[in-house]
């Protein structure tokens, strides 16, 4: 690794004095926004790599794009491990048998490779296009319905969340599910997500907490049981489909898509030489659903909020959509026949891409990545980074670095174009969202633990933004300026959720 001046050797990076456990409890009482502003003040005082002692393991925080690249990409093999999970995560992940919490080793590699090659491969992603159309039609129906009755504009966030959830449920359990079944899955998954902050206290001192917080532990166990009650039957029905497929008993027209569960049935864990059990499959499905729902719907809400706040950006985007696709169609009734902007069309829309990238840079759904650790004690930037330390990266601040970006807090999609002289849509700078050559922003992380679904998430964002703007004009409610303040939930969301007027464009053109 990077060599250091000798006087720093074996010293942790600098940072504030803290009292383990006490500081931990104090931080638990603070909001994430307060916590984040404390981190910024430490960075101003101690530099781009700091130590924060919370609990018994040192926490190391990196906040410069160059150091993030050095750690995650140049030294990726060392920095890609995960720390031992806290008590509740150990249970949720079924003892680290999911992708995000598995240590850097054969089980992680198998599960991650299965997801990327079996579900996220472009040809497979294409096979979910009917599901995307169906979900878009549901979203349109809900938005149009509410916009007729809501005088104060449509509160979009719940509709976005539901749409993303539907899409991932269909990819996970197959496209033969109806809305009632999807609702049931959503209810139990959301309960788990929403209460995750309440359960954090169970991780501070697990042994003692088992007694002191026994009611909360009971609540946690009940929630996990309800999750299995809802998901296990869905898993079982897919196991049956796989069996029948192998026996050649599924008729071609009943075949449907290959679902995530199907790909898990025959996997064999390399270390344990056994197949996944039902609980582990439920854990993997839960990771798939929760990993992709709030992240994508949060990003979509931020992007649409900026399009409402800055109508000139929306107009320019609409011009691109109009130029590529023609006039907006009238909103029809039938879900199956809805005319939509499809995946292939999106490839030609460069301004759209820059709007989505700018949304992710300015408002990354996660302001930190999942905790990393190193596979062994290493020396980094002259400091000791010990095995087991909790390492994280200040994602939002990295994307707002004034040394990398001009006016970083402004929403300017044009910044991604090389020929900005005419302010037009020239060649999109070959922007590398994976940061493999250089990190300029990292909404999906970087290196070996980068979000495996970054490509799918970009497709979903481009698909929904394009169709939402092609079909509807989005405007602010009179007297409302669209407040872009942040609030921490599972992701960093809008403190004042977007309310917008949504008027079908096709209607006015055809009248």
For residue 154, state whether it binds ligand HEM (rule: CB under 6 A).
Answer: no
Query: Min. distance of Cβ 163 from ligand HEM in angstroms?
Result: 13
- Closest separation between CB of residue 294 and ligand HEM, Å? 9
Structure letter (DSSP) for residue 203: G
Rounded to whole angstroms, the Cα distance separating 114 from 266 reads 11
Neighbours of 444 (CB within 10 A): 24
Task: Count the site residues for ligand HEM by CB under 6 A.
Answer: 24
Which three-class secondary structure state does DSSP give residue 98?
Answer: coil
| Least distance CB 94 / ligand HEM (angstroms) | 14
> How many Å apart are CA 414 and CA 418, to the nearest integer?
9
Contact flag: residue 59 with ligand HEM (CB under 6 A): no
Q: Is 392 left (phi over 0), alpha (psi -120 to 50) or beta?
A: beta
Q: Which one among 160, 351, 444, 472 touches ligand HEM, defined by CB under 6 A? A: 444
And the tokens for 201?
């206290």
Q: Does 367 bind ligand HEM (CB under 6 A)?
A: no
CA distance 441 to 433: 7
Q: Which two tokens stand for residue 237?
A: 């029905």
Cβ nearer to ligand HEM, comparing 111 with 331: 111
Q: Give the total residue count for the chain.
A: 511
Among all chains, which residue has been given the structure tokens 């979009």?
A: 156
Q: Does 373 bind ligand HEM (CB under 6 A)?
A: no
| Residue of the chain from 365, 399, 413, 435 that contacts ligand HEM (CB under 6 A) | 365
CA distance 97 to 181: 26
User: At its nearest, how many Å lie between ligand HEM and the CB of residue 291?
Assistant: 3
Closest residue to ligand HEM: CB criterion: 292
Judged by beta carbon, residue 156 or residue 331, the one nearer ligand HEM is 156
Shortest spacing between CB 457 and ligand HEM, in angstroms: 3
Among 51, 88, 93, 100, binds ligand HEM (CB under 6 A): 100
Q: Is residue 156 a contact point for ligand HEM (CB under 6 A)?
A: no
Rounded Cα distance between 399 and 68, Å, is 12
Q: Does 292 bind ligand HEM (CB under 6 A)?
A: yes
Q: Which of 93, 114, 296, 314 binds ligand HEM (CB under 6 A)?
A: 296
Question: Can residue 359 be called a binding residue for ligand HEM (CB under 6 A)?
Answer: no
Whose Cβ is closer to ligand HEM: residue 139's or residue 425's?
A: 139
| Number of CB atoms found within 10 A of residue 236's CB | 13
Residue 227 binds to ligand HEM (criterion: CB under 6 A):
no
Q: What is the smallest separation between the CB atom of 43 and ligand HEM, expressed in angstroms?
A: 19
Nearer to ligand HEM, 80 or 227 (CB): 80
Cβ proximity to ligand HEM, 78 vs 99, nearer residue: 99
SS3 readout for 272-325:
CCEECCHHHHHHHHHHHHHHHHHHHHHHHHHHHHHHHHCHHHHHHHHHHHHHHH
Separation of alpha carbons 479 and 503, rounded Å:
18
Neighbour-count burial of 172, counting CB atoms closer than 10 A to its CB (0-12 exposed, 13-18 middle, 19+ buried): buried
Contact between 83 and 57 (Cβ < 8 Å): yes
**Residue from 71, 89, 99, 202 binding ligand HEM (CB under 6 A):** 99
Least distance in angstroms from the C-beta of 443 to ligand HEM: 5
Q: Which run of H or of E encompasses 159?
A: helix 157-173
Is residue 435 a contact residue for ligand HEM (CB under 6 A)? Answer: no
| Residue nearer to ligand HEM on the CB measure, 99 or 321 | 99
Whether 451 has a binding-site annotation, put simply, is: yes
Q: Is 445 in the site for ligand HEM (CB under 6 A)?
A: yes
One of 114, 263, 295, 314 touching ligand HEM (CB under 6 A): 295
Q: Which of 1, 239, 250, 370 binds ligand HEM (CB under 6 A)?
A: 370
End-to-end CA distance of the chain: 67
By CB under 6 A, tell whether 288 contacts ligand HEM: yes
Crossing angle for the helix pair 278-309 and 157-173, nearest 10 degrees? 150
Which of 279, 291, 359, 399 is the binder for ligand HEM (CB under 6 A)?
291
Least Å distance between CB 153 and ligand HEM? 24
- Using CA atoms of 301, 405, 398, 430 in order, give the dihedral in degrees to the nearest 10: 80
Let me know: does 20 contact 54? Beta carbons within 8 Å. Answer: yes
Binding residues for heme: 451
Binding site for ligand HEM (CB under 6 A): 99-100, 112, 287-288, 291-292, 295-296, 299, 365-366, 369-370, 443-445, 449-453, 456-457
């Amino acid at each position: 690794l990077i060599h250091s001046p000798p006087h720093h050797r074996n010293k942790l990076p600098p940072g504030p004095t803290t009292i383990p456990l006490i500081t931990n409890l104090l931080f638990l009482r603070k909001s994430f926004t307060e916590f984040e502003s404390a981190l910024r003040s430490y960075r101003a005082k101690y530099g781009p790599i700091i130590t924060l002692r919370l609990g018994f393991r040192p926490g190391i925080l990196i906040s410069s794009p160059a150091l993030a690249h050095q750690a995650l990409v140049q030294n990726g093999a060392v920095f890609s491990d995960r720390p031992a999970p806290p008590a509740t995560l150990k249970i949720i992940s079924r003892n680290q048998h999911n992708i995000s919490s598995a240590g850097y080793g054969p089980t992680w590699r198998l599960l991650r490779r299965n997801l990327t090659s079996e579900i996220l491969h472009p040809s497979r992603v294409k096979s979910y296009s009917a599901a995307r159309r169906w979900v878009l039609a549901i979203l349109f129906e809900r938005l149009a319905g509410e916009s007729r009755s809501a005088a104060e504009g449509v509160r979009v966030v719940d509709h976005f969340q539901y749409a993303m959830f539907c899409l991932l449920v269909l990819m996970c359990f197959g496209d033969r599910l109806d809305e009632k079944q999807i609702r049931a899955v959503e209810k139990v998954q959301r309960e788990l997500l929403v209460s995750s902050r309440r359960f954090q206290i169970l991780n501070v001192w697990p042994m003692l907490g088992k007694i002191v917080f026994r009611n909360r532990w009971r609540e946690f166990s009940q929630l996990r049981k309800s999750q299995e009650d809802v998901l296990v039957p869905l898993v079982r029905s897919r196991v049956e489909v796989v069996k029948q497929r192998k026996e050649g008993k599924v008729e071609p027209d009943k075949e449907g898509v290959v679902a995530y569960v199907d790909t898990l049935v025959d996997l064999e864990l390399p270390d344990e030489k056994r197949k996944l059990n039902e609980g582990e499959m439920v854990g993997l499905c839960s990771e798939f659903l929760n990993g992709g729902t709030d992240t994508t719907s949060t990003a979509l809400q931020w992007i649409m909020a900026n399009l409402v706040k800055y109508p000139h950006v929306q107009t320019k985007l609409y011009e691109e959509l109009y130029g590529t696709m023609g006039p907006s169609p009238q909103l029809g009734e039938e879900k199956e026949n809805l005319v939509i902007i499809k995946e292939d069309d999106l490839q030609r829309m460069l301004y759209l891409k820059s709007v989505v990238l700018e949304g992710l840079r300015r408002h990354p759904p996660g302001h930190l990545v999942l905790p990393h650790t190193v596979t062994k004690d290493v020396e980094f930037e002259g400091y000791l980074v010990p095995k087991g330390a909790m390492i994280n990266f200040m994602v939002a601040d990295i994307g707002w670095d004034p040394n990398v970006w001009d006016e970083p807090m402004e929403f300017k999609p044009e910044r991604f174009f090389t020929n900005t002289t005419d302010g037009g849509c020239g060649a999109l700078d070959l922007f590398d969202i994976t940061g493999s050559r250089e990190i300029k922003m990292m909404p999906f992380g970087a290196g070996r633990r980068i979000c495996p679904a970054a490509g799918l998430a970009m497709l979903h964002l481009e698909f929904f933004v394009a169709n939402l703007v092609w079909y509807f004009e989005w405007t602010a409610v009179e007297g409302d300026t669209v407040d872009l303040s942040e609030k921490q939930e599972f992701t960093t969301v809008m403190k004042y959720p977007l309310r917008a007027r949504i008027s079908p464009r096709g209607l006015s053109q055809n009248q």
